[in-house]
Every structure is written in C-alpha cells, then in structure tokens.
Amino acid sequence: MIIIIIVIVIVVVVAVAVAVAVAIAVAVAVAVAVAVVVVVVVVVVVVVVVVVVVVVVVEVVEVVGAAAAITMVVITAMMMMMAMTITTLFHCFNPFRTTTRWMSFNTT
C-alpha cells in the first residue's frame, strides 16, 4: 500500500513539474513573441520616420533650391535691365558729347 502511495505521489510530483515546465515554456514563448512584435513595430516606426524625414528634407532642399534659382534669375534680369538702362541713357544722353541724340540710335 505504501508503495502505491509513493508511486502516486511521484506521478503527481512529476505531473506538476511537467505542468510547471510547460507553463514556463509557454510564458517564455509568449514573451519572445511579444518581444519580436515589439522589435518589428519599432523597426517599422523607425523606417517610416526616416523615410518621412528624408522626404521632407529632399522637398525642403528642392524648394530652397528653386527659390534660390528664381532669385538668381530675378537678380540677373534686374542687373541686365540696369545695364540696358544705363547703356541707353549714356547712348542717348551722353554728358560727354556736345549734342544730345534725344533717343535716336542713329550714329551718323
């Protein structure tokens, strides 16, 4: 009778140990799965943030570059207009000539 009780106790202890081991294994598997999901989510968020930052920086650089190009074109056009104006004024109203041509481009 005592042997049967000892065998039953050993079987119960082994069953409890196996159940605890299975519970620990399941808990570890769940923790690993959660960690993997968290890592994947963090990687996706970082990639999205990097892509958004790169796109924003590229767009800002494009806008600034376009603004700089437009500004340079405007400045160049203004300088050309000033040069044409000064050239025209000195051609028609040259203070170093005795006669004024009065907007006449006839050089004869």
Whether the model clears a pTM of 0.85, i.e. scores above it, the answer is no
Rounded to the nearest 5°, which phi and psi values hold at 35?
A: -65, -40
Task: Assign 102 a pLDDT band (cuts: 50, 70, 90).
Answer: low
- Give the whole-angstrom CA distance, residue 69 versus residue 48: 31
The string of pLDDT tens digits covering residues 7-61 is 888 888 999 999 999 999 999 888 888 888 999 999 999 999 999 999 998 888 8
- Give the whole-angstrom CA distance, residue 78 versus residue 71: 10
SS3 content of the chain, % helix, strand, coil (to 5): 85, 0, 15
